[in-house]
Amino acid sequence: MKRYEKFADDIAELIRSGVLGPGQRVPSVRYASQTYGVSPSTVFQAYYLLERRGLIRARPRSGYFVNTHAPSPFSEPVISSQVNESTKVDVSELVFSVLESIKDPSTVPFGSAFPSPELFPLQRLSRSLASAAREMDPRMVVTDMSPGNPQLRRQIALRYMVGGLMLPMEELLITNGALEALNLCLQAVTEPGDLVAIEAPAFYASLQVLERLKLKAVEIPVHPRDGIDLGVLAQTLERHPIKACWCMTSFQNPMGATMPETKKQELVELLKRHQVPLIEDDVYAELYYGQQAPKPAKAFDTEGLVMHCGSFAKSLAPGYRIGWVAAGRYAQKIERLKLMTSLCASMPAQAAIADYLQHGGYDRHLRKLRYALEEQQSAMLAAIARYFPAQTRVSQPAGGYFLWLELPPQMDSLKLFQMALAQGISIAPGPIFSPTQRFRNCIRLNYGSPWTEASEKAMETLGRIVRSF
């Protein structure tokens, strides 16, 4: 048997055993060559053979992917049970304990909410920052207060336009990260004691915002593949005086779900009928694995009811704390709230990102980032298949950098969190993603760091702990 045939058989076995699932990217030619000790031409020959067998297919400028008819080793997590009662939110102590766990640099950061800084062009950004600082007009201290740096807002508007969405610059407001944008949006449309429809499970930061603003949550189940349950949301809107809906429509954190475009349009129409504003948290929008970015729900908004919030923290500049909101009919109110609280986002950081977007090769960086995240997802899924119990259910998102795992029913993820931390491994336990602290047998894992031997050993250790319950 020739070397390329042997390598092709090894990859075929990974596909048949389910380690590489349908639609997943197989290792890149460079990665496979370096990891398996074969030449690039051997890898190409093996992949051509697998193509002829119908096991993989090539995507132009994206690599090779497992054909979608191949069997998946994992069942997807079960959609959460319906919850229609309003709930006071009190999760901060749990969240703070998880955040504390990732501060130690020796801890494997599977519980982190952030991708690794190693994946970002920080040196190139530093040059943009130095250039922006040298050229900054002192008058910008006044002229560029909210709504923000006009060059940056123009670049953001251009990216919306490339995605097929025409937005006036007047609708765009630069904020201190997406979290401030989301806070301002909620403050613009609610008062303490109001009810807000949120996802179940939901990103824990959204729960902390509700807790701080003394708002009540109404949980709406999320399907692991296509997002929030519109039937339950419709019933909730009929039964309760919902003042806002906070939703991640693409690569939802923690499940990774992405709503199909038709469903996003239905969501916007449903909320329009009830005149309930949608706060669309879309911070992972640039981290898609396919050929085309998913459209936001904002693309279907005809009445200015959708406040679309984005950020550069997950795709370009962690630590710069630059986000934005396309605020629709609420733009003026949100701008005034911004002026009443923090005045403006960092002017040098705004100018630096504007310079980078114009000259730094953002799209080239994004292509590299997406490829890296997709390969890291494949590595983590393969590790789960090797080390975790067979009944483990796992989401398989088409973007972002999180996996949601539903473990056997007897599992207590809060105990698992403590036991894993004692071994130098951080995870995010399910209860921090619910105001009622449900999802006790679920965890969220972050694959946003380059896969190393330490990552593999941590997954083996984690799987062993799970099996011990």
Q: Mind listing the pLDDT tens digit for each residue in 340-373?
A: 999 899 999 999 999 999 998 999 999 999 988 9
Cα angle for residues 312, 381, 250 (degrees, 5° grid): 35
Q: Is the dihedral of CA 71, 72, 73, 75 positive or negative?
A: negative
Q: Which CATH superfamily is domain 87-118+364-467 in?
A: Aspartate Aminotransferase, domain 1 (3.90.1150.10)
Q: Which residues of 3-41 are buried (b: 16+ CB within 10 A; e: fewer)?
A: ebeebbeebbebbeebbbbeebbbbbbebbbeebebeee
- Tell me the Cα Rg of the chain: 22
- Mean pLDDT (whole number) for 54-61: 81
Q: Is 391 exposed, middle or buried (0-12, 13-18, 19+ CB in 10 A)?
A: exposed
Task: Answer left, alpha or beta for residue 190, where phi above 0 means left and psi between -120 and 50 means alpha.
Answer: beta
Q: In the chain, which segments carry CATH 3.40.640.10?
A: 121-362
- Mean pLDDT (whole number) for 161-167: 92
**Are 172 and 326 a contacting pair, CB within 8 Å?**
yes
> Residue 30: pLDDT band by 50, 70, 90 thresholds?
confident
Side-chain-side CA neighbours of residue 4 (13 Å): 13
> Residue 90: pLDDT band by 50, 70, 90 thresholds?
low
User: What would the pLDDT profile of 319-328 be if each residue is shown by its tens digit?
Assistant: 899 999 999 9
Q: In the chain, which segments carry CATH 3.90.1150.10?
A: 87-118+364-467
pTM as predicted: 0.85
User: What would the pLDDT profile of 404-444 be if each residue is shown by its tens digit?
Assistant: 999 999 999 999 999 999 999 999 999 999 988 899 999 99
Q: What is the rounded CA–CA span in Å between residue 263 and residue 433?
A: 23
- Mean pLDDT (whole number) for 137-151: 80
DSSP tally for the chain: helices H, then strands E: 16, 17
CATH architecture, domain defined by 3-66:
Orthogonal Bundle (1.10)
Q: What is the rounded CA–CA span in Å between residue 289 and residue 25?
A: 9
Residues contacting residue 341 through CB under 8 Å, at least 6 positions apart? 184
Please say whether the structural domain 121-362 has been given the CATH code 3.40.640.10: yes
Place of tokens 């039964």: 239
Q: What is the rounded CA–CA span in Å between residue 253 and residue 367?
A: 21
pLDDT (0 to 100) of residue 462: 97
If we measure between CA atoms, which residue out of 394, 396, 426, 393 comes closest to residue 408? 393
If we measure between CA atoms, which residue out of 451, 382, 462, 380 comes closest to residue 424? 462
User: What is the amino acid identity at position 396?
Assistant: Q
Crossing angle (nearest 10°) for helices 177-189 and 204-212: 50
According to DSSP, residue 85 is labeled: S
pLDDT (0 to 100) of residue 68: 64
Q: What is the rounded CA–CA span in Å between residue 330 and residue 253?
A: 25
- Mean pLDDT (whole number) for 280-290: 93
Which of 12-26, 337-351, 451-465 has the weakest average pLDDT? 12-26
Residue 182, pLDDT > 80, answer yes
User: Which residues face 227 on adjacent strands?
Assistant: 223
> Residue 146: pLDDT band by 50, 70, 90 thresholds?
confident
SS3 state of residue 450: coil
